[in-house]
Structure 1
């Protein structure tokens, strides 16, 4: 960070950072699950996140263009001078959540502990204080950066004042303000006064939104001129609105205009940057039991952190049942771990496991591909401080993929160890716990062991906090146990010097692996009891845990591919790309590297002079797909051809070139891996290779699917839910017209078009149906007029009118959206029909992030319910088709792909369809039928 002294007058060369503290608090509150201080149950989620943000802010302050001065600004109270102007100002704002209120004073204390100026003033909002300090600093010749994305602060941008969006880490300058409001910063207040603000209860002019307000201000110059000349406006309704509401509009301007004369006692020079003082900061962090951050601060200042009280300091979820508190466990002590080197010791551990009926287990391997990696060792844990490592494949020197090499002495033979482990690991009376246990399940299944029953700490976390944070073990350990695990890179290194785990010395491997098993056990002990208080026991037991063996079997089965077909496609793609490059070079007026975004940006926006170019921090123009699509929609050929080239390049590199490299030499098949906890809505994600993003509707995508083939005498069968998300929308939003259409088997898109545009279904223009289809599917994802305009290649105003008409015809959808958003704001999460809980961080924020959070909250119950339904079908499928010569191979969103003997195809389709169409929970009676379409063929394209 830059430095300035308190007695040095603020002026030219100084740079002031003004941090919107209230925004930081709410962002922290909604980004983390509800946490409490273990010693007394004090809510801590917001202040913990707030402290981490401040620490990151201070540590990231390096380089030449850094602040010399900084302050964190807070709202003092909800009532300000604006309530004297308009008593209903912010009257609709909900009260802060109950568990957030006691954290407000702690955030102020935290700011002072980090040695940053902390400012709030009674009767004034934080925005007014920011405005006052920004104006003072600007007038003194200095620079100002406001760290916030709050739209109300955008009126200050310009003349040495800029904003920085802390979520996107992107600057907000005059161009970004114009993009949002349609006017420059100096006229933002005028636009806001006309448009009003429902969140802050600023009345504005009824029926006039941001877009219309911007057009009016651009036409008339400023608000007062507009109001004075309102009689000249041609549209009668708009003219009368402005005349009738002139005084209300002027009041609205006083409400949205920031006060740059807020009475503040401090001088700018007193806001100079200072290093935190270790002692008071560490005392504060230790008192709040933020042990992990305290350790980081101590490491940074090279001091010993204070000794915490004997009370456990790990944060716990506020939803924990008072009747079942988290056990107070001693700290993890790696010196207690045992290395199992002979049968006698292993037998003792197996006896203990059988008696306790529970064990945490983790496998160590030579690589991340569980279908090929060699088994190096197994760690076991039966309770706190009771963990062991069983080394099996550590070698002297260098190991290959399978761990081959001269074995280190003192290890049991793999076959004998697994022979002894098998009865316990397959004993239904012994619960096996793992972190991402599907990996370990597959490694052991390759050795003939099928673990039952199982629990997965990753899925326990995911069931309770999907969308709140990631669910890897290291993150969960810090979040819930206050423990930092040994990083794997400390053992195997990184990059070119990275070694296999088989080459790690046994003593170091034992500490690392046994710790993993103990952390897994402690996470299970912490998370398992919270299922019931969080009302997700059913979701975990019926939608998460049973998926592990189902997916493991699918992944291990794999699917055949025609590598020669893919090689021919790669060659054809290369030729097409070469032809496109030649065409692109002609359009550009000369050769350049089509794959270089920098060179492309210079061609488009400098040489060709196209409009819409935006330069990032590096000075390079953005040539994202969104930018190119906008230019192509305007009729420009070059960006359209570049998009074609990029699409072919991606298909070539991702599929036709890469898929043959993924063929397992032992099975001759491609084995994808599904992430159960990857998407917050419950959708599965396919990786290594990703088989879920092959284009469905393009000729190239169809030809790639032709490369996925059935074995000799077999067929591939595809069963796909028809319009499942629209069916769920019809049910949850209670839309009579849509529900009846689905019951009657009517073309839903044609019916929607008929409802919206007043045209008969018979003989409908396909273009009208296409537009209705785009809106039907787009509304589920909260599509905007801008997005629909891009999809349909039509003017934005026309697209917005389509959306407006849609909501007029189906008002139940708007009511559903409002209901879901209100629930998300109140609870911090939404639920699917089947009980899946999906966290909604950011839903109570303001600014651009709020829109994305709102759209995600609206979509989550719909997409999540669709994911739940196909999960339920997959879980039931193995038993249903067990009597058939068939195997389930792939899941691609709403589709299941099977391999089946040719003679059994009709029966497989009948049985699988019955399972899928009956997959809704009996306790949830959908108002619409689930329909499954089926196809079969020698390859996936024919089946689909």
Structure 2
């Protein structure tokens, strides 16, 4: 871009609100650290990409001729002298963002752009002055910011541009926001005040009311002079009493347009960046992609340019940034008193400081607010916009998000800065009697309209605990929550296997605070009421605390992701899956209720036949569902040996006991097991599934749990669709009842032997790996290796034994377990296992290495970095220790498989959309995904699904063992599987 100095009519002046833009970009984009020293650089990367777009004239028309990045110099400004409390309530600056401000200044200089700041004035005043001078010379001005305080500058020559929403802000957009033209914005702000900057305004006057008053009276001075004419008593009294406060507020919000600038308008003319200097900076930051683009644009060999020695890891200026914050260029109002800023800003130091802060700041429930008006809700929304994040939580009438009604919601923007917004509380003083809504509540419709822009704004981070539930509640109100951070999932990534990830448990663990129990406000047992019957004062304290605690947990836990190197796990495997699973739950799946009714009858008849056989074998009638009666029959009357008693003195009749007796040839225990299987199928599925059909959608909507297992596997509940038996004919009949909508079919896509493939990969077993690469029958190949039997014409019994060993080894099967499974002597089973390890020594080495690592560290990791903790692996009790060792060995395989299907699920919907397909992902069951697809799209959908699933590990992990997915379509789940 050529030099253009001095400024002329027709030029284009671009002013970047540096701090505000970086702060919002920081919350909207995933964290990024420099790999060499873990220095946070995500905001710097976003900033550099934006500058590159600007200097290459790709983003604006006409291209910028003058450009400056404008920062706040210090907190001591003329506004502080007028009103010492100005900006006194600003929230703490995020610690991993703080060290990036000096780097942003370095980036600006690397681009050969003006970096402007001036003592005594805010960046807004400097931009206002530049804009005024540019207009006077006939230039066009663009201010890159979404800050409402700058909207008073907008006119025919001055526009704003919100980079996060990619939209221009002109006169019409200002009117849409404030209800007045830009020249009256100052008067509206003087009346409404600003809780973010601590501008007092007039109590009870919000933006909407202020705009109405100004529309009637013209301007602030006239309004204040004629305030006695206003009919509304409270409004009239407040305007008279707080008139001077409104005038003070006007002084605070009015931007100065006549600052004596240290850097003149002519001095900010754009010049072509010096390519070598820019590349040296980008290489020091380790921004590989942008370095390549810049080098290509300037036709420079990037390899010949050394990183800026002062800024690369270990450089003098870089070390200073890592040790502590350079206060230049950062608003100290935001950072004042922040222990983490004072103590140091390396990721580990940030984590420790936040943990200390979490326990040092008591929860003050008296500070919470009950928001009863729309205007006040809008003020909370504005505060969330200004700081770029907000914790949110919903209160509803039930636990099913597809049927529960919203009762209210809570917001939190800082510790002890939280509110509850009641919407549909009912009843009298105790919320028990009247069916009508209690007064002074915001309507659901108005609240949704006020929240929708905020909750869908990509520049404002929404923080929650188990946000999938809240996502579904808001979706039913027409709101799609994004982007999100979930404290439950952050905890899960960091500490899977170490305690609960529920909010109450996390609060006690990290904050030393015990939140109010739900039962304390809603009662329990017969005295329990739904939340809409809870008195608002009690509901407000409980709900606001939930949002407050969630925000505090986020502040404590989020820095640990960077400090412990788990950001990638959270960003790729957890956070994006929230919305994927929420949409799957929302879609639901159809069932054939008539078929289930018939199956219930069949199962009942089968149970009846078995009961008759059981009575004949026992020589008397008894209830096979009674453990006591069964124990008395088996070990008392029939005197079958091998019985053992529970600590209560009763005979043990669990499935393991009955299976062992059945293996010994006793028929009665086998019949009991068969009866129990039919009883479970009847009660849990055939009878129960129809009760889960949603009356509005006609579908069953299961709930997926992301943080329920140590290994990363999903589970489901209400109803649980993960444990439907598939090895028996009766179990498969249940799957037949899951059907597709008319004109559609179900596609089942299932990973073939994924854990065995991962075993061959991780254990580096050449023969197994080669077998998978060659597409051989892995069980037949194993049998051939172990027993010396040719694959061709191999007896099915030999292959069955090899299959049992293959899968048994993954789960740490013992000789006893394998003997029971194959009905062979324990010595023979032990010999099989020994021979297996001799033929595949890599597997034994893998198990030994995993066991040793887990004993030393207390955890194992999957191929994708997920950490699975087993704190009891060092237990003194041998059986507990052995169980944990087996679980740790299996976790690397099962966890890696779980990570792979998660990656596939995250990528699936974009891939289907890109292919122009309407297929809808409905269910995930371990290694299987279920889709509902239009008949005419089946042939096109299956290849896309298989491609995504089979290539899911790439580029994070390139497997040597290929993944294979079997996929087929049918009218019901069983036939598709």
Q: TM bucket by the smaller chain? A: 0.5 to 0.7
Equivalent residues of 2:431, 2:533 under 8 A apart: no
Do the aligned partners of residues 378 and 795 (structure 1) sit closer, same or farther apart at CA in structure 2, a change above 3 Å counting? same
- For the residue of structure 1 that corresponds to 2:720, the secondary structure is coil
Q: Which moved more, 1:328-337 or 1:548-557?
A: 328-337
1:321 maps to which of 339, 348, 351: 348
1:923 correspondence with 2:953: no
Question: Residues 430 and 535 of structure 2 are in contact (CA less than 8 Å); yes or no, is this contact kept in structure 1?
Answer: no
Q: SS at the partner of 1:794?
A: coil
Give CA-to-partner distance per residue, 1:217-253, whole Å, 9 cap, x none.
xxxxxxxxxxxxxxxxxxxxxxxxxxxxxxxxxxxxx
Q: 1:503 aligns with which of 533, 557, 560?
A: 533
State yes or no: 1:517 paired with 2:547. Answer: yes
Q: SS state of the match for residue 844, structure 2?
A: helix
Which position in structure 2 is the counterpart of 1:798? Answer: 828
What aligned pairs does 1:831-870 form with structure 2 within 5 A after superposition? 831-846=861-876, 847-870=878-901
Residue 340 of structure 1: how far off its partner (Å): 0.4
The reply on whether 1:394 has 2:417 as its aligned counterpart is no
Distance 2:889 2:573 in 1: 21
Q: Answer yes or no: is 1:643 the counterpart of 2:673.
A: yes
Partner of 1:576: 606
| Distance of 1:933 and 1:729 partners within structure 2 | 20
SS at match of 2:513: coil
Q: How does 1:597-746 map to 2 (within 5 A)?
A: 597-746=627-776
Within 5 Å, give how 1:474-489 maps onto structure 2.
474-489=504-519
Alignment check: 8 A CA contact 2:351 2:557 kept:
no
Q: Which residue of 1 aligns with 2:928?
A: 895
Match of 2:464 among 423, 434, 441: 434
1:585, distance to aligned residue in structure 2 (A):
0.4
TM-score under structure 1 normalisation? Answer: 0.65
Q: Distance in 2 between matches of 1:585 and 1:925?
A: 59
1:370 correspondence with 2:401: yes
Cα drift, residue 842 of structure 1: 1.1
Q: Secondary structure at the match of 1:395?
A: coil
Moved more, 333-342 or 766-775: 766-775
Residue 944 (structure 2) pairs with residue 911 (structure 1): yes
How many Å separate the matches in 2 of 1:371 and 1:779?
Answer: 42
Task: Report the equivalent of 2:381.
Answer: 350
Aligned to 1:448, the other structure's residue is in SS state: coil
Query: How far apart are 1:324 and its partner, in Å?
Result: 4.7
Query: How far apart, in 2, do the equivalents of 1:484 and 1:490 lie?
Result: 13
| Distance change in 2, residues 1:400/1:441 (3 Å) | farther
CA distance in 2, matches of 1:867, 1:701: 24
Deviation of 1:330 after TM superposition, in Å, equals 2.0
In the alignment, what sits opposite 2:919? 886
Per-residue CA deviation, residues 173-201 of structure 1 (Å, 9 max, x unaligned), is xxxxxxxxxxxxxxxxxxxxxxxxxxxxx
Instruction: Kindly provide the CA deviation profile for residues 826-879 of structure 1, in whole angstroms up to 9, marking residues without a partner as x.
Output: 222111100111111111223211000100110111100000000000000111
How far apart, in 1, do the equivalents of 2:482 and 2:956 lie?
A: 28
Which one of the candidate residues 570, 586, 591 is aligned to 2:616? 586
Q: Distance in 1 between matches of 2:386 and 2:734?
A: 53
- Secondary structure of 1:936 counterpart: strand
Partner of 1:330: 361
Q: How many residues align?
A: 628
Q: How does 1:167-566 map to 2 (within 5 A)?
A: 321-327=348-354, 328=357, 329-396=360-427, 405-566=435-596
Residues 124-181 of structure 1: per-residue CA shift (max 9 Å, x gap)? xxxxxxxxxxxxxxxxxxxxxxxxxxxxxxxxxxxxxxxxxxxxxxxxxxxxxxxxxx
Distance 1:885 1:311 in 2: 50
**Residue deviations 1:442-496, cap 9 Å, x none?**
1001111001100000000000000111100000000011000101011111122
In the TM superposition, residue 323 of structure 1 has moved relative to its aligned partner by: 4.7
> Cα deviation per residue 1:369-420 (whole Å; 9 max; x = unaligned)?
010001000000001110000000110069999x993111110110111111
Task: Tell me if structure 1 keeps the 8 A contact 2:942–2:967.
Answer: yes
| Contact 1:399 1:500 (C-alpha < 8 Å) held by counterparts | no
In the alignment, what sits opposite 1:256?
A: none
After TM superposition, the score normalised by the length of structure 2 is 0.63
Cα deviation, residue 555, structure 1: 0.3
What is the rounded CA distance, in whole Å, between the counterparts of 2:459 and 2:493 in structure 1?
Answer: 24
- How far the C-alpha of 1:320 sits from its partner, in A, is 7.2
- Cα separation, partners in 2 of 1:741 and 1:465, compared to 1, 3 Å: same
Aligned match of 1:47 = none
Tell me if structure 2 keeps the 8 A contact 1:398–1:503. Answer: no
Q: Which residue of 2 aligns with 1:937?
A: 970
For 1:335 and 1:797, the matched residues in 2 are separated by 70
> Structure 1 CA distance, aligned partners of 2:743 and 2:430?
40
CA contact (8 A) 1:834 1:921 kept: no
Report the alpha carbon displacement of residue 322 of structure 1 after superposing the two structures with TM: 2.0
Q: Report the Cα distance in structure 1 between the residues aligned to 2:545 and 2:629, rounded to whole angstroms.
A: 50
Is contact 2:428-2:434 (8 Å) kept? no
Report the alpha carbon displacement of residue 535 of structure 1 after superposing the two structures with TM. 1.4
1:812 corresponds to which residue?
Answer: 842
What is aligned with 2:907?
A: 876
What residue number does 1:825 align with?
Answer: 855
The 1-side partners of 2:424 and 2:434 are apart by 8
Residue 754 to residue 798, structure 1, CA distance change in 2 (3 Å): same
Secondary structure, counterpart of 1:371 in structure 2: coil
Cα deviation per residue 1:887-914 (whole Å; 9 max; x = unaligned)?
Answer: 0000010000000100100111011110
Distance 2:429 2:446 in 1: 24
Q: Matches of 2:576 and 2:399 in 1, distance apart? A: 23
How far 1:697 sits from its partner (Å)? 2.0
CA contact (8 A) 2:862 2:896 kept: yes
Name which one, 1 or 2, has greater alpha-carbon Rg. Answer: 2
Q: C-alpha distance in 2, partners of 1:703/1:567?
A: 12
CA distance in 2, matches of 1:701, 1:442: 31
Q: Following the alignment from structure 1 to structure 2, what is the Cα–Cα distance between the partners of residues 550 and 437?
A: 12
Q: Does structure 2 retain, via aligned residues, the 8 Å contact 1:685–1:692?
A: yes
Gaps of 5+ in 1: 1-309, 313-318
What does residue 180 of structure 1 align with?
Answer: none
Q: 1:778 corresponds to which residue?
A: 808
Name the counterpart of 2:796: 766
SS at match of 1:703: helix
State the Cα deviation string for residues 47-95 of structure 1 (Å, max 9, x = none): xxxxxxxxxxxxxxxxxxxxxxxxxxxxxxxxxxxxxxxxxxxxxxxxx
User: Displacement, 1:326?
Assistant: 2.7
Q: Is the 8 A contact 1:363 1:440 kept in 2?
A: yes
